[in-house]
Amino acid sequence: MKKIIFFVAFLFASAASFGQILKPVKWSYASKRVSDKEAVLFFKATINDGWHIYSQTVPKNGPQPTSFSFHSSKAYQLSGKVQAAKPIVKHDTTFDMEVGYYEKLVVFQQKVKLTSNAPTVKGTLTYMVCNDKQCLPPEEVAFSIPIK
């Protein structure tokens, strides 16, 4: 009987270890009013050691770039494009090309012009994360950022 219980426990433990989903990137969001009519949105990616996400511009046939899509709203207008720090640029052996990417932490920023007192900016961001052994499929993440 002890052998059967041990065997069943071993099976559950094995199944649990194979069923874990890798989530090497954590996203957080914030906003800051810079005037009555303008705010800045912040999209912070905290990336686990050994992993990286790609910049917003990568060569054709390369990895999925990080991109942002905003829902239309009468409460705000985008002002310019999403900005970020200069990426690390190196030859990526997986894609056999020079690509820009970020490790550990990156903050993307988007300026918005406000046409409402306290809008909430909604949309999605898409990114791809890789390490030196594998790339995970591109992931789309919905965001909702209140501006106070």
77-125: per-residue pLDDT in tens?
A: 999 999 999 999 999 888 899 999 999 999 999 999 999 988 999 999 9
19-32: per-residue pLDDT in tens?
A: 567 899 999 999 99
State residue 20's pLDDT score: 60
Please give the DSSP secondary-structure letter assigned to residue 21.
Answer: P
Reply yes or no on domain 22-146 having CATH 2.60.40.1250. Answer: yes
pLDDT at 16 over 70: no
pLDDT at 145 over 60: yes
Q: Quote the CA–CA distance of 71 and 22 in Å, as a whole number.
A: 28
State residue 100's pLDDT score: 97
- Check: CB of residue 27 under 8 Å from CB of residue 143: yes
- What is the model's pTM? 0.84
Mean pLDDT rounded to a whole number for the chain: 88
Domain boundaries, the chain: 22-146
State residue 5's pLDDT score: 41
Structure tokens of 54?
Answer: 């790609």
SS3 state at 4: helix
Structure tokens of 28?
Answer: 């957080």
Q: Could you count the other beta carbons within 10 Å of the beta carbon of residue 40?
A: 16
Tell me the mean pLDDT in the region 63-82: 97
pLDDT at 18 over 50: no
